[in-house]
Structures are given as C-alpha cells and as structure tokens.
Amino acid sequence: MTGRDVMTPVELLRSHKLATRPVISLSEGSDPRIIAGALAAHKLGLVNVILVGDEAEIHAGLATQDLPLADGIEIHDPKTSPLTEAFAAQFHEMRKHKGVDADKARVAVQTPLVYAAMLVREGHADGTLGGAVHTTSDVVRAAIQVIGVAPDAAMISSFFLMFPPEQAMPDARAMVYSDGGLVIDPSADDLVSIAQQSATSAQALLQVDPKIAMLSFSTRGSAKHPMVTKVSTATQALRKARPDLQVDGELQFDAAFVPEIATRKAPDSDVAGLANVMIFPNLDAGNIAYKITQRLGGYAAIGPILQGVAKPANDLSRGCSAQDVTEMIAVTALQAMQKSNPATKTPLE
C-alpha cells in the first residue's frame, strides 16, 4: 500500500457500513465551524452528534447557515439538560478528594467541556471533540479529570496524521507524527510509551504496519550528546518491551524517510527510508516539523489526536476549518470503534 492509497479518516469510516452510528459530543456546539463540520459528518452517514452549548446560540448558528436539525443530531444545553444533576453528583463523587464540593461540581458540569466529557464517561456518547475555541490544556484537562487515562496507558500523548499531496514525490507516504501537540520534553521512558501508542494509532487509523523511527539530530551514533543518548536509550527499551515492532533509532529524518539516504546512513535497517511513524525527541521538534511538512511540503495535517485516554477525547486546532472538524469527528469515531474491539488491529476487521 502506497502513501496515496491510504484512506483519510472520513474515507476509512465511509468504507465500512455501520450497524449503529457512533455518537460524538461536541463541546463547542455554537461555533459555526463545529456546526458545519458536524452536520457534514452526519450527512455523510458517519456519526450521530450532540451539539453542546447554549441552546439559543446553537439554534442561531444553525439558522445562519441554513442547516436544519435532523434525526441523529441533538442539542444539549448543560444549564437546562435533565442529565446535569446526575452528572453533578457523579462529578462530585469523582473529584471530592480534590476539594470539589457539590456546588462546585454543579458549576463544573455546566461548562460545555466537562459536560461533553461526562456524556462519554456515562455512556451517552462514544467520544468527544473540542478545541476550536478552547486551548489544548483546557481540552486535555477535562479529558483527564472526567474520562481518565486508559488502564493500559502510562500517559496521554498526541499525534498528527500526515497525508501527502496529490503531486508529491514518489516515496511520499502517509505518516504519524508524534508527539506534536502535548508532551513538551518526554523522558526516554515517555518516548517508549509514545511510540507504542503511536504504533497502535497507525494500525487503527492508517491501516499500515508501523515502521517506527526514533528521531534525533544524530544517526546511529554520528553525534554525541545527552539528547541523542535519550533517544537511543528509548529505542533499546522499546525493542526490549515490544520485540514485535519494527523500530530503529536514533535516526535523522532524512535517513528515516529517504531510501537512498538510508542505504548510506543505516544500510542494515528494515525501518530507515521506509518509516511511517515518526517519534520526535521533544515538542519543539514535533510541532515545528508538522507545520513545516504541512506548509512547505503540502501535506494535510489532521490533529492533534489524543492517545492514552480511557475513551476517545480529541483536540482541535483553534485555526481549524469545518472540513478539519469533519475529519476529526471521523478520527474520534474510529478510535471508539477500536476501543470497542481492541483485539483487532484495525477498526474495520
């Protein structure tokens, strides 16, 4: 399968006829991009959606875009929802050890981010999505406090799906870039966790066998520095923890991506020149790299996508478009399908 053959999340979800549509709660339901993206996803038959927020503002937004409500599209106003009191009691029970009393819990669940996450926690939705208005820290905080870290995850991290443009070089391919949005300065152990999570994400969302490059400014000891040592240590630990995975490092990006350069810098590698999961040594490198790949390389970037959450919760860029919202809704739905059947490699098997 070449990079151009890999389906986008929307295409992947559309390729599967669902017996039941996943339900995605959107915490910024009055934002015009959220409304347009959500209704587009619903019209494509991908999901049912819950628009969370002020009911009058959501109705006004729908009217402005001349987008009517339909079956499978709900509006939940946390200030008037019949679920709010039960959510407040549950949130109080969850957070009382942190000093949250009943009144504070009631106020908290009336905020759309927390309410949308409670919909997922309590089984009214399969995943949640926010971040078009709120910061990443706000979105992640709500996800951690309400939904929590997955039992098999050491941490929560993030990644971007990178899709090559139509007129790209012959060896262009879809890739996972991680972490590009959340973990600022991961330790060697953190890099191992991020790489393992990213391998699973690549299988689920790109339907590829992950080839993991642990990236650095050095290839196979060409430079000496504690930052290089961190990456090489993580590579060895990952190989020991997951001998089933194809991983190499430390590698420079050109050695990981370009086959001709890989033959010179790492000729014995089964990953170099073919990597499709790029693990960056810190957030500086990951965030800068995805933006350069997007803006200069013409790649489409979908994310940041969270991994390691107990149930799907995702972040949007505040510069997102309605199409970005639709793709991220599809990502969240695919993650929900994967979590409902974790024994499979992909959501569609």
Domain CATH for 220: 3.40.50.10750
Other Cβ atoms less than 10 A from the Cβ of 314: the count is 25
CA atoms of 177 and 162, how far apart (whole Å): 7
Q: Is residue 304 part of a domain?
A: no
CATH code of the domain containing 75: 3.40.50.10950
| Contact (Cβ atoms closer than 8 angstroms) between residue 238 and residue 247 | yes
Residues 226 and 331 in one domain: no
What pLDDT is recorded for position 347?
44
CA atoms of 8 and 327, how far apart (whole Å): 8
CA atoms of 87 and 92, how far apart (whole Å): 8
Q: What is the domain count for the chain?
A: 2
Residue in the structure block whose two tokens are 């991506």: 257
Residues 128 and 235 in one domain: no
Exposed, middle or buried: residue 5 (CB in 10 Å: 0-12, 13-18, 19+)?
exposed
Residues 71 and 121 in one domain: yes
Q: Is residue 303 part of a domain?
A: no
Q: Is residue 211 part of a domain?
A: yes
Q: Is residue 349 part of a domain?
A: no
Residues 142 and 171 in one domain: no
Q: Is residue 93 part of a domain?
A: yes
Residues 271 and 134 in one domain: no
What pLDDT is recorded for position 66?
67
Half-sphere exposure of 257 (CA within 13 A, CB side): 18
Q: Is residue 225 part of a domain?
A: yes
Residue ranges making up the domain that contains 181 = 157-295
What pLDDT is recorded for position 340?
67
Predicted structure pTM score:
0.88
What pLDDT is recorded for position 346?
45
Residues 335 and 242 in one domain: no
From first to last of its 349 residues, the chain has per-residue pLDDT tens of 344 578 889 999 988 877 788 999 999 999 999 999 999 999 898 999 999 999 999 999 888 876 666 678 999 999 999 999 999 999 999 998 988 999 999 999 999 999 999 999 999 999 999 999 999 889 999 999 999 999 988 899 999 999 999 877 777 899 999 999 899 999 999 999 999 999 999 999 999 999 999 999 999 989 999 999 999 999 999 999 999 999 999 999 999 999 999 999 999 999 999 999 999 999 999 999 999 999 999 999 998 899 999 999 999 988 889 999 999 999 999 999 887 665 444 444 4
Exposed, middle or buried: residue 263 (CB in 10 Å: 0-12, 13-18, 19+)?
middle
Residues 8 and 131 in one domain: yes
Q: Which two tokens stand for residue 97?
A: 């050890």
| Cis upstream peptide for 226 (omega within 30°) | no
Residues 144 and 17 in one domain: yes
Give the pLDDT confidence of 287-321 residue by residue, as tens digits. 999 999 999 999 999 988 999 999 999 999 888 89
Q: Is residue 300 part of a domain?
A: no
From residue 346, alpha-carbon distances to 159, 203, 277, 343 in Å are 17, 6, 16, 9
CA atoms of 30 and 222, how far apart (whole Å): 52
